[in-house]
Amino acid sequence: MKSGAPQRLGLVGRGRAARTLEPRLARAGLAPTWWWSRGDAADAASLPGVDLVLLAVPDAAIADAARALAARPSAPSETWLHLAGSQPAALARVDATRPQAAGLFHPLAALPGAGAAADLLVGATCGLAGDRGAVDAGRSLAAALGMRPLTLDAATQPLYHAAGVTMAGHLTALASQALTMLAAAGMAPDDARRALLGLARGALANLEASPPEDAITGPITRGDVATIREHLARLDALDAHLAATYRRLGLTALELSRPRLPAATAASLEALLRP
């Protein structure tokens, strides 16, 4: 266990986030002293005191879980962190004394559950906010898990969370649309998924090495107007929703590529892509 990490830890929740965290906490020498959810037979009031509680529950359940834990005599001496990146750090606080420190510990990672790769959190960013003691506890926990702590500003936290949703959840939604296109082209689902995952890995590798304006590839950055026209004709005939996504993201790709394109070519592409 890393120096400064909590000696005793409680974990609340049985969902995807809790199931992802529990084995990784154990591997870091931080196996939870108790793991509890509202559906368990044990009452929250019977849970022993710990140094740190992780509230790995849905956003709407955080306040109720905190109130249940607040009945314990140890609550005023504990630090509680919730994991909801879109919610204020103070949501983990019941009143002025319970808990001692309240905050946010938000893994900026796709959390698929217990079966994911062991190194899923290693190197991932972790957003921290709240009372000073809570941020310090979150930083120590992040270090124990091999994560990169990032202290968040409450005023801009919603944009931080929106960026995470765009990169993870929306990326998956985008992949689903690309799979729909390949299905319409007659490709078997497993073959389509393998093909797109290989392509996505290459794109992410480019993005890791270079900023977006240098990493972007494809017909827009080459100024290939004829190819874009053909794509849109096929997509308009297939599904208006797919065509709308292609146009919207195509406009972003055009802005990234515009400095290297002749003005007339950029204008032709923009005319095609504008709804």
pLDDT at position 249 over 60: yes
CA gap 163, 34 in Å, rounded? 33
CA gap 175, 166 in Å, rounded? 12
- Which tens digits make up the pLDDT trace of 122-153? 999 999 999 999 999 999 999 999 999 999 99
Domain map of the chain by residue range? 9-155, 169-273
pLDDT at position 4 over 80: no
Query: Which are the contacts of 177, defined by CB distance < 8 A and separation ≥ 6?
Result: 241, 242, 245
Confidence band of 113 (pLDDT split at 50, 70, 90): low
Superfamily of domain 9-155, CATH level 4: NAD(P)-binding Rossmann-like Domain (3.40.50.720)
- Which tens digits make up the pLDDT trace of 147-192? 999 999 999 999 999 999 999 999 999 999 999 999 999 999 999 9
Average pLDDT, the chain: 95
Query: What does the DSSP 8-state code read for residue 116?
Result: S
CA gap 143, 66 in Å, rounded? 25
- Which tens digits make up the pLDDT trace of 198-236? 999 999 999 999 999 999 999 999 999 999 999 999 999
pLDDT at position 246 over 90: yes
- Provide the pLDDT for residue 116: 59
CA angle 156, 161, 166 (to 5 degrees): 125
- Provide the pLDDT for residue 39: 87
- Provide the pLDDT for residue 115: 62
- Provide the pLDDT for residue 1: 44
The closest of 245, 218, 217 to 232, measured between CA atoms, is: 245
